[in-house]
Amino acid sequence: MHFEEQVTEFELELRSDPVSLAMTRDGQGCLVLDASGHIQAHGTARSLGDLSSLNLVAPPVDIAASPIGVGYWVIDAQGSVFSFGNAPFLDGIPQVASKAATAVKIEPVAEGDGYWIVDSRGGVHSFGSAPFHGALVDNRPVDGLRVVDFAADLKGRGYLFLDSVGQVYPVGDVPYFGSPAPLGRVDAVGLISRPGGYLVVDSRGAITAFGDIANLGSPVGSGLEVLAVA
For 166-218, what is each residue's pLDDT tens digit? 999 999 999 999 999 887 767 899 999 988 999 999 888 888 899 998 877 77
Rounded Cα distance between 128 and 12, Å, is 34
Rounded Cα distance between 168 and 104, Å, is 16
pLDDT for residue 108 is more than 50: yes
**What confidence score (pLDDT) does residue 138 get?**
80
| Residue of 166, 163, 169, 161 lying closest to 204 (CA atoms) | 166
**134 φψ region: left (φ > 0), alpha (ψ -120 to 50), beta (else):** left
**173 φψ region: left (φ > 0), alpha (ψ -120 to 50), beta (else):** alpha
**What confidence score (pLDDT) does residue 26 get?**
84
**What confidence score (pLDDT) does residue 158 get?**
95
Q: How far is CA 150 from CA 121, 173, 203, in A?
A: 12, 15, 16
Q: Cα angle vertex 114, ends 159, 77, to 5°?
A: 75
**What confidence score (pLDDT) does residue 60 get?**
96
Instruction: Report strand pairing: 39-43 vs 29-34.
Output: antiparallel
Kindly state the helix (H) or strand (E) to which residue 126 belongs, with its residue range: strand 124-128
Q: Show me where the domains of the chain are located.
A: 2-132, 154-230
CATH number of 2-132: 2.130.10.10
> Tens of pLDDT along 73-105?
999 999 999 999 999 999 888 766 556 789 999
Quick one: what percent of the chain has pLDDT higher than 70?
Answer: 85
| Residue of 208, 209, 205, 125 lying closest to 159 (CA atoms) | 125
> Tens of pLDDT along 3-19?
344 555 556 666 778 89
